[in-house]
Structure 1
Amino acid sequence: MDISPVTLLGSRVRLEPLTLQHVPALARAGLHPELWRLQPRPIDTEADMRAYVRAALDDQARAASLPFAVVDLASGTVIGSTRFMDIAPAHRRVEIGATWYTPSFQRSGANVESKLLLLTHAFETLAVQKVVFKTEAHNAQSRKAILALGALEEGTLRRHLIADNGRPRDMVYFSILDDEWPNAKARLRERLARYPSPTRRSREGGNPC
């Protein structure tokens, strides 16, 4: 399984390999407290964002992660980040996570297309047998979004992780298997088609759907 930096291009977004050069744009997009409320640590400053990106790149250097900056094609603006993580080549398994989008691009179709690009790469290029998602049990919005991808809930691991402030985190695990991917792919394409075209969205002022 060749986990090398790659650019994934859709009709709305481009996922490009994350670098330190993305830090200022990520800070402009991501310094919103609501994005980090249920995350291991808050990102309050550009320095925090730089440390966040450095940690992602350190994981990439260990072949444990492959992080991306998410760019809106219509505006050329960085709108968030996502990554492959907990990569297990021997078991043909990856996790998709550490995903966030600036609030104005939530419910815009950007996440749906990003997931379609990542899952297509995982199953059809990397030939994984399983893609994992996890989220905190309290994060009802994230749990709903993962189920909408066509993933199946596997269960809750209680007090599985600890946030930097000492808060225990119950984590809910989901997955899509390779033989489930064709149906999930069709479902994602149908969902993406329901959003206004990127050209129309830009003309209407970029309001999230």
Structure 2
Amino acid sequence: MNFSPVIENKRVRLEPLQEDHLEVLLPLALEPSLWTVGANHIASREDLEKYIRAAIAERNAGTAIPFVIYDRQVQQIAGSTRYAGLTLPHKRTEIGYTWINPELQGSGLNKAMKYAMLQYAFEVMDLNRVEFKTDELNMQSRNAILSIGCTQEGILRRHMITSQGRVRNTVYFSMLKEEWPEVKQRIFGKYDF
């Protein structure tokens, strides 16, 4: 298994997250609006250093594949995402820990990125299941997940404590390998990624 792939299409290139991405990610990561809803919170250089080190440690342990997001349209690093909770014996992963420059939200970047990641997960990694989860209060994320053809599976009540101390309910979504060909054609077929 390649834990440092480069995944790309016409709109986006996902590159392995490295410690030297700290400087380019820092101005984006310090945008407070990215952390109003969610389990993580980055408010300082030290927070981002810890976040990157933890992501790399998970990659080294074989449980995650973290990326920086490069937007080819604007030719700049736009944020970070990862395959998380990677469980190869059960052929599943989660796509998550996604944060994108607010100026690029709604630009089609997220959809192009999710397409690239789903395609790689099902067609290269040969996984059976890709999961997504988000805070019940994060309607923007919930709607985005539904818009790419995922199925809402349920809500885990009082599932996590956010970085702000709020006890959150978590909404789970998934896509299955058998669903991917139809979703690929129906949802993503109209885009030129």
TM-score range, shorter chain: over 0.9
* Code of the aligned partner of 1:155: G
Deviations 1:135-187 (A, max 9, x none): 00011111000000100000000011112343211100000001100121123
* Code of the aligned partner of 2:150: A
**1:3: how far off?**
4.5
Quote the residue 1:200 is aligned against: none
CA distance in 1, matches of 2:106, 2:186: 16
**1:77: how far off?**
1.2
CA distance in 1, matches of 2:29, 2:85: 23
Quote the residue 2:119 is aligned against: 120
Higher helix share: 1
Gaps of 5+ in 1: 198-209
Quote the residue 2:27 is aligned against: 28
CA distance in 1, matches of 2:106, 2:37: 19
The reply to whether residue 99 of structure 1 matches residue 101 of structure 2 is no
CA distance in 2, matches of 1:138, 1:191: 30
What is the RMSD of the two structures over their aligned residues, measured on CA atoms?
Answer: 1.5
Normalised by the length of structure 1, the TM-score is 0.87
**Alignment partner of 1:11: what SS?**
coil
**1:109: how far off?**
1.1
Counterparts of residues 59-98 of structure 1 (less than 5 Å): 59-98=58-97
Q: Percent identity?
A: 39
Normalised by the length of structure 2, the TM-score is 0.94
CA distance in 2, matches of 1:131, 1:119: 8
CA distance in 2, matches of 1:174, 1:74: 29
CA distance in 1, matches of 2:131, 2:2: 16
**Alignment partner of 1:4: what SS?**
coil
> Contact between 1:112 and 1:191, CA under 8 Å: does it hold in 2?
no
> Contact between 2:3 and 2:59, CA under 8 Å: does it hold in 1?
no
**Alignment partner of 1:28: what SS?**
helix
| Distance change (3 Å), C-alpha of 1:44 and 1:192 | farther
> Contact between 2:38 and 2:134, CA under 8 Å: does it hold in 1?
no
CA distance in 2, matches of 1:187, 1:137: 27
**1:59: how far off?**
1.1
Moved >6 Å (runs of 4+): none
Gaps of 5+ in 2: none
